[in-house]
Amino acid sequence: MNKFSLLTTVALFAYATGNIARAGIITTGDTDTPNVDMFLEIGRAADGTMTINTVGGPSVVSSSHGGGVGRDTGATGIVTIDGAGAAWETGGPGGTGATVRIGGADYLAGARGTGVVNVQNGGALIVDSADLSSFRNSSIFIGERDGSDGTLNVTSGGKVFLTDTTNTATDGVGLTGGRGGKALALVDGPGSEISVVSGIAGALSFMWVGSQTVMLEPLMAN
Amino acid sequence: MGRIADSNAGALDGQLTVSNGGKILVEGNGPDSTFSGFQVARDPGATGLLTIDGGEVELRTGAGAENGKFFHVGREAGTDGELRIENGGVLKTGGEATSFSGNLGRNGGSSGTMVVDGVGSRFEVVDGAGSFTSSLHVGRDETRDLTISNGGVVDLNLGPGASSVSLGQGAGEDG
């Protein structure tokens, strides 16, 4: 079953069972359209939310160009990925970027928002820069710009995967917290996991915890 | 949301907690010049805290020339980084035999602290068969602290390669 068929099935099931307001993929506020917008933003200029759950069956959101959660100053974005079979996939074959920004964005003045991502109960966030050659690959930036706030909670068997196994670039893959703003991240409970895996020569698999300035220099290990 | 809204007021720049069986894997499988590692409080003025509280963090690399694992806790001037391993938490290396280098307080003016506290709490270099090197620098260029207490363990694996712990390596340092 392809993703379109899968989502259609989920929607029909939800309608038939009267759970249309709760099932599958639910968005509120200033949030892009899942599985339509290639760069998916939740809470861009104003508050917004996205919930991906498994009511009615598996639900997958794909955004080939990455995504952002809580971008502009005063905006709060909240993403909840809840349950085994619920997933947000960014990048992948044919994509042009695989970065997820949680709280603010360094590429835009005034982007000092608040972002929260909850990955729980077996849900998954997958960041994969396959087939790409962008400068920096497969990254999650938490609290990227000065004045922003970002939080990533991985609990109750939640999974976060960052990978660039087929990328031809050499920059690496990683989790960066407190890049300019404030970052909180939690990986709690059995089965809860963040996996940062690169398969490319010269790559750096990394996580930074507290990084005062925005980094654009080539990554160095020492 | 209260914690989020308030977190810019006097909070650390970055806090990461791995607790109650949670796990982080950082792995590089490239054929050469591939590194896996983490940095706590990296850039000038940054503050960071990594707490491994009953959880696990593993750094792995595949076999290859110049591959290696590393961490820096407090890297540049003005940084204040802390790594806490407690309540049975584990930080370990793995994969093929390569090199490991850890630094507490890497460059001048930096601050790095590492605490390994409690029975079952461990930092260990556990690589595959073959020669590798492992080293832990406490105060490479500045004043830093390593505390091992209440049954905590640091094991740099005195295997066929070279292993070392250096205290106060650079000029003017105090490890």
Q: What's at B125, amino acid-wise?
A: V
Asked if the Cβ–Cβ distance from A188 to B68 is below 8 Å, we say: no
Computed on alpha carbons and rounded to an integer, the radius of gyration of chain A in Å comes to 17
Report how far residue B69's alpha carbon sits from residue B125's, in angstroms, rounded to the nearest whole number.
10
Cα A129 to Cα A78, A116, A161, distances in angstroms = 23, 22, 11
pLDDT (tens digit per residue) in B2-53:
222 233 434 689 999 999 999 999 988 877 777 889 999 988 889 999 999 9
User: Which residues in chain B touch residue A143, judged by CB atoms under 8 angstroms apart?
Assistant: 13-14
Is the entire prediction scored with pTM above 0.80? Answer: yes
> What is the DSSP track for A102-168?
ES--TTSTT---EEEEEEETT-EEEEE-TT---SS-SEEEES-STT-EEEEEEETT-EEEEE-TT--
- Under 8 Å between Cβ of A119 and A154: yes
User: Which residues in chain B touch residue A116, judged by CB atoms under 8 angstroms apart?
Assistant: 1, 4
Asked if the Cβ–Cβ distance from B43 to A215 is below 8 Å, we say: yes
Q: Note the pLDDT of residue A64.
A: 85
For residue B63, the chain A residue with the least C-alpha distance is A201
Q: Note the pLDDT of residue B144.
A: 76
Residue given tokens 């100053």 in the structure block: A73
Q: Note the pLDDT of residue A107.
A: 77
Average pLDDT of chain A to the nearest whole number: 81
Nearest by CB to residue A211, choosing from B14, B19, B101, is B14
Q: Note the pLDDT of residue B175.
A: 41
Q: In what order do the strands lie in the sheet with A193-198?
A: A59-63, A86-91, A124-128, A159-163, A193-198, B23-28, B56-61, B90-95, B122-125, B153-155
pLDDT reading at A164 higher than 90: no
Asked if the Cβ–Cβ distance from A205 to B37 is below 8 Å, we say: yes
Asked if the Cβ–Cβ distance from A209 to B36 is below 8 Å, we say: no
HEC string for chain B: CHHHHHCCCCCCCEEEEEECCCEEEEEECCCECCEEEEEECCCCCCEEEEEEEECEEEEEECCCECCEEEEEECCCCCCEEEEEEECCCEEEEEECCCEEEEEECCCCCCEEEEEEECCCCEEEECCCCCCCEEEEEECCCCCCEEEEECCCEEECCCCCCCEEEEECCCCCCCC
Report how far residue A90's alpha carbon sits from residue A192's, in angstroms, rounded to the nearest whole number.
20
Domain map (residue ranges) of chain A? 24-209
Pairing of strands A48-52, A193-198: unpaired
pLDDT tier, B125 (very low <50, low <70, confident <90, very high otherwise): confident
Report how far residue B151's alpha carbon sits from residue B112's, in angstroms, rounded to the nearest whole number.
22
Q: Using CA atoms in the order A63, A60, B3, B71, what is the torsion angle rounded to 10 degrees?
A: -70
Nearest by CB to residue B46, choosing from A207, A210, A221, is A210
Asked if the Cβ–Cβ distance from A204 to B32 is below 8 Å, we say: no
- Closest Cα to residue B37, out of A175, A178, A119? A175
Report how far residue B82's alpha carbon sits from residue A221's, in angstroms, rounded to the nearest whole number.
19
State the number of CA atoms in the 13 A half-sphere of B14 facing the CB: 36
User: Which residues in chain B touch residue A178, judged by CB atoms under 8 angstroms apart?
Assistant: 12-15, 46-48
Q: Note the pLDDT of residue B121.
A: 98
Mapped onto helix, strand or coil, the DSSP state of residue A30 is coil
A157: left (phi over 0), alpha (psi -120 to 50) or beta: left
Asked if the Cβ–Cβ distance from B27 to A195 is below 8 Å, we say: yes
What are the two backbone dihedrals, phi and then psi, of residue A14, each rounded to the nearest 5 degrees? -65, -40
Q: Which of A145, A187, A200 to mutate to test the interface with B (most CBs of B within 10 A)?
A: A187
Asked if the Cβ–Cβ distance from B21 to A191 is below 8 Å, we say: yes
Cα A30 to Cα A26, A76, A108, A125, B1, distances in angstroms = 12, 10, 17, 21, 18
What are the two backbone dihedrals, phi and then psi, of residue A131, each rounded to the nearest 5 degrees? 65, 20
For residue B53, the chain A residue with the least C-alpha distance is A188
pLDDT reading at B154 higher than 80: yes
Q: How far is B79 from chain A (nearest CA, A)?
A: 9
Pairing of strands B122-125, B153-155: parallel
Query: Looking at residues B57-70, what average pLDDT do you find?
Result: 84
Mapped onto helix, strand or coil, the DSSP state of residue A13 is helix
- Under 8 Å between Cβ of A101 and A63: no
- Closest Cα to residue B50, out of A5, A83, A211? A211
pLDDT reading at A46 higher than 80: yes
pLDDT reading at B64 higher than 80: no
Tokens of A70: 């809580």
pLDDT (tens digit per residue) in A67-82:
999 999 999 999 999 9
pLDDT reading at B122 higher than 90: yes
pLDDT reading at A119 higher than 90: yes
